[in-house]
Structure 1
């Protein structure tokens, strides 16, 4: 049985490792708990993160950065393959677990990283875990 702290730490660790691989001024203002229902129908919560760094040079090409983060995520048990997409105003490389546009994974988990010229973002929705949303939100 996973705890709220377990699911939060899972996505926060991926965020921290990604942020450390792509240094710069990341805006981490958007992180919160939101309501979900567990697979057995109980009230629960997801921990959500959205963070981005804009208008800052990348340490390498967007493709190289995506490949580096791909390796980091694989080491954490998230074997993903970077995909290139020109569907954004500025083309980007995308890492997504599960695959890009495939929905969420087990218990609602969805982790994504996109990187393009002078831009990167990280978003995650943790696994849904039983808990009281109001109590978990208060802790943040």
Structure 2
């Protein structure tokens, strides 16, 4: 094994902005063979990670009002943002929780049209979860 391969195992290998990123997204079935977005897969992924982030916010907060405050700040910022900026705001939420950006989201970051659509689904699901009364029980 060469030195470059050994070094890449310790950190993220490759770059979501390189020529191979779209192929990775195809293998994850987020893009079709022709390069269009597979909406059902992207929605499922967005909902999954939004639910996990919501749970992480609940775990990190003293009470539910802290979660609501945190999310309201995000929602206010997202309402004024362009699609790509919305995606970056989601990434900042992971930073605020001192979490590494999940790999699928990392790979989406290099493809603006997917990133914006992913962010829209993610935010809509977070808003839905934030309004859910089951959480406060």
Q: TM-score, normalised by structure 2?
A: 0.27
For the pair shown, the structure with the greater C-alpha radius of gyration is 2
Q: TM-score, normalised by structure 1?
A: 0.27
Higher helix share: 2
Higher strand share: 1
